[in-house]
Amino acid sequence: MLGLLVLVLIIWMVSDTFTQPGASDLSMDFVEVGKYRNENNTGPIKRIYAVAVSDTLWGEMEKYGKLMPHTKYGNTQVFFFLDKNQTPSKISGEEPHFEQNFRKYCIAKFEKKAMGEESFRRYPFEERGQ
């Protein structure tokens, strides 16, 4: 009886591991064009992504941002662009993170800060950003 219970628990944990949500479960396409990760493995990890998207489904972009890797005391930023050809492939760890001419094409930014605080902003480089 105990062996059966252990077997059921193992099957449940394995199936749960393989059924975690991912970007492929979202309602639009995401293509990671550029990324940066600092080489600091002992302190805060900084991750920055430039992602081309197929639509302006804001909720799906926010969900995608929440799926991205994050480390405690680290910072993860995801910049979203509508056209792959207008998405930066070279990302820097320092502001402004990519060439200024790409800012006008950035439609949204997701950020997860050091203590887990999340923010999502539409048109982050325009006055009308939310």
pLDDT at 70: 83
Two structure tokens written together for 6:
């252990």
- For the chain, the average pLDDT equals 85
Residue 129, pLDDT > 50, answer no
Tens-digit pLDDT profile for residues 83-105: 999 999 999 988 889 999 999 99
- In the chain, how many domains are there? 1
118-122/46-53 β-pairing: unpaired
Q: Is 84 a domain residue?
A: yes
pTM value?
0.79
Query: Domain limits at 63?
Result: 23-122
Q: Is 17 a domain residue?
A: no
Q: Check residues 80 and 40 and name the one with the higher pLDDT.
A: 80
Give the model's confidence band at 71: pLDDT under 50 very low, under 70 low, under 90 confident, else very high.
Answer: confident
